[in-house]
Structure 1
């Protein structure tokens, strides 16, 4: 190739490059924009329908498109329909130890601000149960009719107060962990003497007239939890099995009877056992934590009479603690279930006390768990109380204030 040819090719390549660059610059910066696209108006709203039902106790996440307003925010229902639901705040201050009143329509509670007990209805009508003050009450247990309260104080003193007669009975200071009988006018407690040989489970009349020791506790007082069954058969549970009797991720819970009955042990799959009796005392709802549930709390149901103890045990598939549940009739349970629980939450509950909850309804006849509602304002839900007609759900929010949600 001659020197002249090389120069011609070089000049030609330069000219081509200039034209190419000019074309690119025109396309990027000077070409007119295309006309806007035409959108055809159809007049139809796009939505996904109702939230699906959880058939196996899986937590169902809310679908954000459902019921959205023109602002893009989901509209909350006034009555629970399976989605975001409005709640009504009944108190401005924190309340404690809530319980349904004897008529099943109102809520009794203790107000730490003035040390008094009150009752309140769905219309926010507040009535003091007594003008007597009980400052700094530490724990409160209610009797079966919500007419008497057993109050423990930080200094160790214990009293039973009758709101009808406005009389009180003083109980020994070395008694603790009380529970009223659901069928008789009695209470159960742990009598914790200085000498372990003198530590007993005791049953006493709630007027203080009689006391009976029913089970020696020895060094195992902290392994016994009082929980009097509605059929008057079991009064407490003992977690005293050794590792050879239990096993990895398995534990044996021993029911304790009022008359030293020899009940069959209840085998549970996990640790941190806590329980809630059915209204009849025929079944026991409980939660445990184990490796199989990623150490999250898991609800179970089991038959629990003297003759059926441990039969028909099955998981309900909901990861929550049993004290966030409430029975409504013999075959229905309402539970507050955290929307999110990380692994190991069941081993360190205090870290997740304020996790936002959703409400589930469990039909024990079919075993189906259904999402009932999600509070419009995210909150944890504790101390659930369902009215007798299942129309109202009372609960304490994560600030301790009393709220209600309408179920019907």
Structure 2
């Protein structure tokens, strides 16, 4: 009886242990299996509060289309215009002719002429190697050639002859007739430094004005009427501003012409073809020290009257007159600060071509060259059909058609 009771108790204990173990297994160790559910939509933040797009089918990669550059026009019309190279290599000292231009080739030391179609003709078999500067006569039939050692010669292309000029002469310019030259005669003694006029072969020398220590302040610039030969920046400052000054014209016969009052530094003059107007550039506070173009009346009796700004930031020697009513200028495409006081810092800036109507004073963009170019020695063909210039970046002679 006792043994039966004991067996029942042991069996009950074993069953209880199995039941408790099974409960613990389901409570703590068995993995919970759940029904699969649909994935929630994935969202990403949108830009500027716009709703974001959900997941979608992959989109094939399509390369971005390259914007097509505007096609260069053959004739200037205010936009990108084709510039045509007339020389295969660097040229120097360009001068206009009725059919094109003459130039010096530093590669072989010879002179050539080229027409607007690019046809090149040798002007002479004579060679002038390593010339440092060349000054052409108005008709491009003579040239003064300067060399690094200080020697100077005049070459006449009509007669194919040359003569030697004094080595202490410098800053040459031909008079309008081309039969005389103006120069600075720089002796060792400051008392023997003069502005002189002579025949084109250096004969018949006439002293015009003593220079003393002021040679660097005198700009040789013969007027078309042959009365003024230079401008001197030697007068005392004028009242009314720190940069107001009087530019003094120097007459070839020591005439006492009225002065030209200007504001600013870096006075650079350019005569109109008939001498009735004078274009000049200067830089000052009023122009943020960038060069600014001005034009004034220029006859001896009216010099300096009717002055007006053309509103163009460039130098006068980057412009060319076409007759008396139009002016073409190479205008830098954004000048560095103080470029009017330190011109060399703008050497790397490309130019665009502008046309100025001298009757109305209105300026308009004429052409954007189809490659970056810095235009020097700008010239307009006699018939107004094109402009010629030297690209300072490559040294090549270029032309742009105007009509």
In which range does the TM-score fall when normalised by the shorter chain? 0.7 to 0.9
Equivalent of residue 187 in structure 1, options 155, 168, 181? 181
3-state DSSP of counterpart to 1:347: coil
- Provide the aligned length of Structure 1 versus Structure 2: 353
8 Å contact from structure 1 (residues 246, 252) kept in 2: no
Q: Using a 3 Å threshold, how does the CA distance of structure 1 residues 230 and 32 change in structure 2: closer, same or farther?
A: same
Distance 1:33 1:304 in 2: 77
Residues 139-189 of structure 1: per-residue CA shift (max 9 Å, x gap): 111112100001111111111100110111111111111110013510011
**Secondary structure of 1:222 counterpart:** helix
What SS does the aligned partner of 1:28 have?
Answer: coil
How big is the shift at 1:282? 1.1
The DSSP-based 3-state class of the residue aligned with 1:197 is: helix
Query: TM-score, normalised to structure 2's length?
Result: 0.84
Single out whichever of 277-286 and 344-353 deviates more from structure 2.
344-353
2:110 maps to 116
Structure 2 residue ranges without an equivalent (≥5): 1-36, 45-52, 60-64
The answer for the alignment partner of 2:27 in structure 1 is none
**What pairs up with 1:82-97 in 2 under 5 angstroms?**
82-97=78-93
Shift in CA distance, 244/391, structure 1 to aligned 2, threshold 3 Å: closer
Deviations 1:316-358 (A, max 9, x none): 0000111111111012110010111132111221121131111
Distance 1:25 1:365 in 2: 76
Partner of 1:250: 244
Could you tell me how far apart the structure 1 residues matched to 2:290 and 2:275 are? 26
Looking at structure 2, the residues matched to 165 and 94 of structure 1 have their Cα atoms a distance apart, in angstroms, of: 27
1:79 counterpart residue number: 75
In structure 2, the CA distance between the partners of 1:74 and 1:257, relative to structure 1 (3 Å rule), is same
Choose which of 386, 393, 398 in structure 2 pairs with 1:403: 398
Please say if residues 183 and 231 of structure 1, whose CA atoms lie closer than 8 Å, have aligned partners that are also in contact: no
Partner of 2:23: none
Q: 1:339 to 1:244 in 2, by over 3 A?
A: closer
Q: Aligned partners of 2:282 and 2:303: how far apart in 1?
A: 17
Give the 3-state SS of the residue equivalent to 2:95 in structure 1. strand
Q: 2:272 aligns with which of 273, 278, 284?
A: 278
Separation in structure 2 between the aligned mates of residue 285 and residue 354 of structure 1, nearest angstrom: 25
Q: Which residue of 2 aligns with 1:26?
A: 41
Specify which of 318, 323, 327 is matched with residue 333 of structure 1: 327
Counterpart residue number, 1:347: 341
SS at match of 1:108: strand
Larger Rg: 2
Alignment partner, residue 199 of structure 1: 193
Change over 3 Å in CA distance of 1:256–1:75 after alignment to 2:
same
TM-score norm. by structure 1 comes to 0.83
**CA distance, structure 2, for counterparts of residue 190 and residue 31 of structure 1:** 83
| Structure 2 residue corresponding to 1:313, chosen from 307, 312, 315 | 307
SS of corresponding position for 1:351: helix
Q: Report the CA distance shift for 1:169/1:33 in structure 2 as closer, same or farther (over 3 A).
A: same
What is the DSSP-based 3-state SS (H/G/I as helix, E as strand, rest coil) of the residue aligned with 1:302? Answer: strand
- Deviation (angstroms), 1:370: 1.1
